[in-house]
Amino acid sequence: MDSKNLIVTGGAGFIGSHLCEYLLERGHKLTIIDNFDSFYSRNIKEQNIADFKNHPNVKFIEIDILNYDLLIDVLQDQYDAIIHLAAKAGVRPSIENPKEYQKVNVEGTQNLLEVARKKNIQQFLFASSSSVYGINENIPWKESDGLLKPISPYASSKISCELMGHVYSHLYGIRFLSMRFFTVYGPRQRPDLAINTFSRKILKGESIPFFGTGNTKRDYTYVSDIVDGIYKALNYNATMYEIFNFGNSNAITLSEMLNELELVLNKKAIIEKVTEQPGDVSLTYADIEKAKKILGYEPVTFFRDGLKKFKEWFISYESNF
């Protein structure tokens, strides 16, 4: 691929920082936008970008995507694409603060679509979520299944963005590709997510909150597989609007995940059973045939191997804080 000039929002986050490294290794120029949202520590995000923030092909801008006028003002170059990862994250917190999730995720995405429209940026990649399927019983979930049953404000905000992307694609000729990520894990994973939280508590000898019976399932997808999928989507130019599942197509129970984590960490967990949380779905399971066929997407990381890589990072990271 020829060198591109790209806008990456949320570039200091978990997936975003991995993506930025990947793009820089391939010679692309990046304008990275992040506002260091207080959902988790700024120090974590600063460490995520420490190795590339001052790279000669990086322009880092600390800005809130809700500040449309400033976005228009500071984004002065010619850009080939926007990769929009920035969002208010988390299913459970969205139930506590639904208006904020609607505002940031939907209005923020529209601001970026307006940037694309005003500056004639032809390609827009959007980070959606498996949570949009909600309690849809048609397993495994396919992009062609229009029966979405979201059960959290976070999920509904992502659906709203997908639909708005279709509007902008239709009206203004912006290619909009929605990427539905399935339970991403790996080095730099957010501290609120299960694998990170469980690892910290296991190693400290603290009890972990174990929701329900342990039979809920997640389609865990390693971060480098997600990044490879994003890169393949960046090259896609056949149609103007598409939705792709980026998962592993291998649902693993909470109990199985914990067993694997205990093996990798070589320590048993202390379990504290708690009730299921509102907004959480019982199963996520991706049908990835469309992404395989159209994009050549192919996850290659086995779950235990991914956990081992996570452990290496986690041990090193924890020793620095």
- Predicted pLDDT of residue 214: 83
Tell me the three state secondary structure of residue 288: coil
- Asked if 184 contacts 131 with a C-beta cutoff of 8 angstroms, the reply is no
Amino acid at 86: A
Mean pLDDT for all residues in the chain: 95
Indicate whether 208 pLDDT > 50: yes
Check residues 173 and 214 and name the one with the higher pLDDT.
Answer: 173
4-26 pLDDT, tens digit each? 999 999 999 999 999 999 999 99
DSSP characters over 115-143 = HHHHTT--EEEEEEEGGGGBT--SSSB-T
pLDDT class of 320 with cuts at 50, 70, 90: low
**304 domain residue, yes or no:** no
CATH number at residue 151: 3.40.50.720
Rounded average pLDDT over 29-34 = 98
What is the band of 319 on the pLDDT scale with cuts at 50, 70, 90?
low
Cα 8 to Cα 190: distance, rounded to the nearest angstrom:
18
Q: Average pLDDT of 93-109?
A: 96
Average pLDDT over residues 248-254: 94
Distances from the Cα of 158 to the Cα of 59, 90, 148, 211, 226, angstroms? 27, 12, 11, 25, 18
Is 40 designated active site?
no
pLDDT tens per residue, range 49-81: 999 999 999 999 999 999 999 999 999 999 999
Query: What's the pLDDT at 291?
Result: 98
Q: Is residue 321 part of a domain?
A: no
**Which residues constitute the domain of residue 13?**
5-184+220-249+285-299
Number of residues that this document lists for the chain: 321
What per-residue confidence (pLDDT) applies to 7? 98
pLDDT at 321: 42
State how many domains the chain has.
1
Give the mean pLDDT of 261-288: 89
User: On the CB side of 11, how many CA atoms lie within 13 Å of its CA?
Assistant: 27
Within a domain: 83: yes
Instruction: State how far Cα 8 lies from the chain centre.
Output: 13
Q: Is 276 within a domain?
A: no
* Structure tokens, 3: 């060198």
How buried is 53 (Cβ within 10 angstroms: 0-12 exposed, 13-18 middle, 19+ buried)?
Answer: middle
31 pLDDT more than 90? yes
In this structure, are residues 30 and 77 in contact, taking their beta carbons and an 8 Å threshold?
Answer: no
- Which of 270-302 are b and which e, b meaning 16 or more Cβ less than 10 Å from the residue's Cβ? eeeeeeeeebebebbbbbbebbeeebebebebe
Average pLDDT for 196-214:
90
Radius of gyration of the chain (CA): 19
177 contacts 242 by C-beta, under 8 angstroms: yes
- Which residue of the set 79, 133, 154, 220 is catalytic? 154
Strand ranges (E), 154-225: 175-181, 184-185, 207-211, 217-218, 221-222
In a domain, 228, yes or no: yes
- The answer to whether residue 261 sits within a structural domain is no
| Residue 269 lies inside a defined structural domain of this protein | no
Residue 267 lies in a domain: no
Task: Give 28's Cβ-side CA count (13 Å radius).
Answer: 25
pTM for this model (two decimals):
0.96
Q: By CB neighbour count within 10 A (0-12 exposed, 13-18 middle, 19+ buried), where does 120 fall?
A: exposed
CA distance 228 to 19: 8
Q: Which two tokens stand for residue 215?
A: 């039979």
Confidence at residue 148, expressed as pLDDT on a 0 to 100 scale: 94
Confidence tier at 27 by pLDDT (50, 70, 90)? very high
Tell me what percent of the residues of the chain surpass a pLDDT of 70: 99
